[in-house]
Structure 1
């Protein structure tokens, strides 16, 4: 695939996302008073800066030579994106953050494991997923008091 075309498409998508983000920041609560800093001030600065940087990168991409992009593991990327979408959909509809996080991390570990999936390493991956989920629980629930 052409790297130049791919870069240009991604930059246009980023500009569209930043424009939407800018539009959302204008809908935040406005404070009374001229020139006061409200809740949307910083998001507007971020989105405008991001749009300007994307436009600069677009011009640089247009001037650059074309190159080829190897998409050898695109199936792994697409499966990861699909698993992430399913994870967020299940979490937002049913809750159960910690069990879903455990299953999500275990499935990603199994997906990216270079050896066959169901070997004796599945126990190690389960322990790793469980320990990371417990770590997330303690950091967010106990230390920062964030409820999921």
Structure 2
């Protein structure tokens, strides 16, 4: 069980740590002096590589999380009997997975298409998308941090 907890935590740290790195370190450095356009290829390459790591971590988290929950005698097939903290954590994990899917499969590709259009030719919809698309990863990071908080609370109960 110890090894399983360690693997579960390692996958969470990789995912959340990468989110923090991208949001707090890489993007601000690349945006410095308005030079983000120069580094778009670098950012895209890093983001694609991180996406593969994230999806691997998500798979590990699901597999180890289900096993850990079963080991704690949480009736996985009876959500009405779940401890409140566990139910809240699963709800936030579901939201985080949904946001990740939304970011990777919908928002990201649309942003790439919009950025491929000269600025003067972008539609109002493109401009709105580009302005608000940054919210998805920011909300994802906040949700991920809340999941970690609930994980700590759950481990202490």
**TM-score (norm. length: structure 1):** 0.35
Q: Which fold has the larger relative contact order, with Cα–Cα distance below 8 Å and residues 6 or more apart in sequence?
A: 2
Which structure has greater helix proportion? 2
**TM-score (norm. length: structure 2):** 0.33
Q: Which has the larger radius of gyration?
A: 1
